Chain A
Amino acid sequence: MILRLAFGSLVARALTVGMTILAIALSVALFLGVEKVRTGAKASFADTISGTDLIIGARSGSVQLLLYSVFRIGNATNNMTWESYQDISSRPEIDWIVPISLGDSHRQFRVMGTTPAFFERYKYRSDQSLAVRDGAIMSDIFDTVIGADVATTLGYEVGDPIVVAHGLASFSEHENQPFRISGILEKTGTPVDRTVVVSLEAIEAVHVDWQSGAQIPGQATPANVIRQMDLEPQAVTAALIGVKSRLQVFGLQRSINEYPQEPLLAILPGVALQELWQIVSIAETALIAVSAMVVITALIGMMATIFSSLNERRREMAIFRAMGARPRVVLGLLVLEAALMAAIGAILGLALLYVGLFIGQPLIDSAFGLWLPIEAPTMREVWVLLSVVAASAIVSTVPALRAYRMSLADGMMVKT
């Protein structure tokens, strides 16, 4: 009955109480939403590459190798020679190996030379394969397959010609060898979306008339001549490796790192991703801190509401006292009331979050390639909700103690 009376008292002040609850609900929804985005980002970050056991490249830092080979951020300081690549690919532990050659660009997008095996071996978001949305994967030297973002940003369709620029700033374009778009990939939410994929031979082909980064003046080999040439590459930037048995990963990694002919580096993608995430985690912490502040602000707002309601509720307290309620019942009533408001706010916030997720999930996925799963609240989220309720009960003891003293002084007589 006391619970019912507390509830009735809240309903009687529906407007102010409603606003307070709304503030709590919004802050809780924001906090949980930030949590969702954070864990979603972390997961999709870790989902960028899966199924690959090792990434190898010229010796640099593991994060750097991961950044340029998977995220297409930054550049390789060095390539690895084709001899080393072939030597390693002939090792018995290796199940498959996919070479990657980087360095050219198309508009703002990176061009990646690789073999058709890439489409089969590259996996993301727990073993999902790349899929072609339109057209087919390349069958000719001058065929390209472009990622979904490339297609939408530049408005390309299958069959359109594109020109690849040498280097990353597009001041010198390989105009003699225009490429044709043979296929467009489905959106993946990975850097593949922002990549122009060509064959490894194509990378060599566009550089036939080039030497030391500059075009040889007056020389322009026609495409049909290039087709006849031997286009075996001199070097590749990196390679993705799958081993036959997981047990061999560390042995292979060590022997590649100690490769005598050339300084190479082999990394485990998962470990390197962890290292990279640790760098990003400062921003993550800041984000949590800001949304926690919002929750605290809402709770302080609630405290202010309770304070301002005390005067108009003096009579209510006096009636409770006259009926034999001890002052601490009055105190308990206010704390209970605050906890009730916070509980309703928390549940409403959770509902808001799910409504938001339901509406926002496809939009966020297509805009940012970030997949936020809709699932039952995690233990962590339940703890967040419980802490909000507990914190509100603690915060409300400040006005409740004031009410306690007021009702001790007033007794059952209120002269207003």
Chain B
Amino acid sequence: MPDVAPILQLDDVRYRWPGRTPFGLHVPTLTLARSETVLLLGESGSGKSTLLSLICGTIIAQSGSVSVAGHSIASLSAGKRDRFRAEQIGLIFQQFNLLPFASVRDNILLPLQFAPERRSRILNLNAEAKRRCRDLRLPDDVMTAQAGTLSVGQQQRVAAARALIGTPPLIIADEPTSSLDAATQATFLELLFAQSRAHGTTLLMVSHDARLSPQFDRVIHMADIAQNVRDTA
């Protein structure tokens, strides 16, 4: 019944970076429902990146549980976790999101290499990549262009197309608009919202910019859900 379970569920998660750093992160609880758009606000150093790494399974909490689409991430082997991430989560970063030397088409199709289920939902890879580009108002001729030759705004839209292709249930965007100017920022968000609503995808966006708040279903402040803990033990 994974479809009934919340797309993301964190319970009493405690994580401490390896080594001697005394800092750690404690998230008592965090739940994201399906098709929800959520803005996670937090200052830099508030543990946003750590939280995202925990959700994506590139790091594992020392205690507590992180579940994505009803699956506990900690219970998966490292290899399975990588595959699981590819299947369930579409990722967009701040910038330098793409392989600059590869074509736009190859960049968009890259996650499907590691996610056979997402791939199996697509009949014609080329057509699908092209359709995603159109949805994000990218001209058709960018498909064969080298990703590095595009403008930053276009690159971010290619990154969005890559995150959306094969319709993963969860999109995580880590400050995707911080390198864009105001006008491009607005267009980008508009398109991203339209697409995630159209496909019923959950969108979790991390930002430090509170002005974006009105566009989201829900706004969470990092300070409310997590504590930076200084381990004294």
Q: Which of A's residues lie within 8 Å of B, judged by CB?
A: 1-2, 4-5, 8-9, 11-12, 315-316, 319-326, 329, 411-413
**What are the 6 tightest A-B residue pairs by CB atom distance, in nearest-first order?**
A324-B86, A411-B58, A12-B101, A324-B114, A323-B111, A8-B101
Mark B88-110 against chain A: 1 for CB-CB distance below 8 A, else 0. Answer: 00010100111111110010011
A324 touches B85 (CB 8 A): yes
From residue A80, how far is it (CB to closest CB) to chain B in Å? 78
Task: Contacts A1-B113, A323-B113, A324-B111 given; indicate if A411 touches B106 (C-beta within 8 A).
Answer: no
The answer to the question of B186 belonging to the interface, with a C-beta cut-off of 8 Å to chain A, is no
A411 touches B98 (CB 8 A): no
The answer to the question of B115 belonging to the interface, with a C-beta cut-off of 8 Å to chain A, is yes
Name the segment of B3-11, B34-42, B76-84, B187-195 touching the other chain: B76-84
From residue B190, how far is it (CB to closest CB) to chain A in Å? 24
B106 touches A5 (CB 8 A): yes
**What's the dominant secondary structure at chain A's contact region?**
helix
Question: In the bound complex, how far is the Cα of B85 from the Cα of A316, in angstroms?
Answer: 18
Question: In the bound complex, how far is the Cα of B99 from the Cα of A325, in angstroms?
Answer: 14
Residue among A9, A324, A326, A411 facing the most chain B CB atoms (10 A cut-off): A324
**What's the dominant secondary structure at chain B's contact region?**
helix
A5 touches B58 (CB 8 A): no
Question: In the bound complex, how far is the Cα of B113 from the Cα of A413, in angstroms?
Answer: 20
Q: Which residue of B lies closest to A416 (CB)?
A: B96
Q: Which of B's residues lie within 8 Å of A, judged by CB?
A: 49, 52-53, 56, 58-59, 78-79, 82-83, 85-87, 91, 93, 96-103, 106, 109-111, 113-115, 148, 162
Q: Which residues of B contact A315 (CB under 8 A)?
A: 96
Task: Contacts A319-B97, A324-B82 given; indicate if A5 touches B111 (C-beta within 8 A).
Answer: no
Q: Which residue of A lies closest to B93 (CB)?
A: A322
B53 touches A413 (CB 8 A): yes
Task: Contacts A324-B85, A325-B82 given; indicate if A8 touches B99 (C-beta within 8 A).
Answer: yes
A11 touches B101 (CB 8 A): yes
Question: In the bound complex, how far is the Cα of B52 from the Cα of A4, in angstroms?
Answer: 30
Taking a contact as CB atoms closer than 8 A, the residue among B56, B103, B114 that contacts A325 in the complex is B114
From residue A200, how far is it (CB to closest CB) to chain B in Å? 78
From residue B164, how far is it (CB to closest CB) to chain A in Å? 13
Question: In the bound complex, how far is the Cα of B53 from the Cα of A321, in angstroms?
Answer: 12
Question: Other than the known A11-B101, A411-B56, A413-B52, what 12 A-B pairs have Cβ atoms closer than 8 Å?
Answer: A9-B101, A12-B100, A319-B97, A320-B110, A323-B86, A323-B91, A323-B113, A324-B114, A325-B114, A326-B79, A412-B93, A413-B53
Task: Contacts A322-B93, A324-B86, A413-B49 given; indicate if A5 touches B102 (C-beta within 8 A).
Answer: yes
Q: Which residues of B contact A411 (CB under 8 A)?
A: 53, 56, 58-59
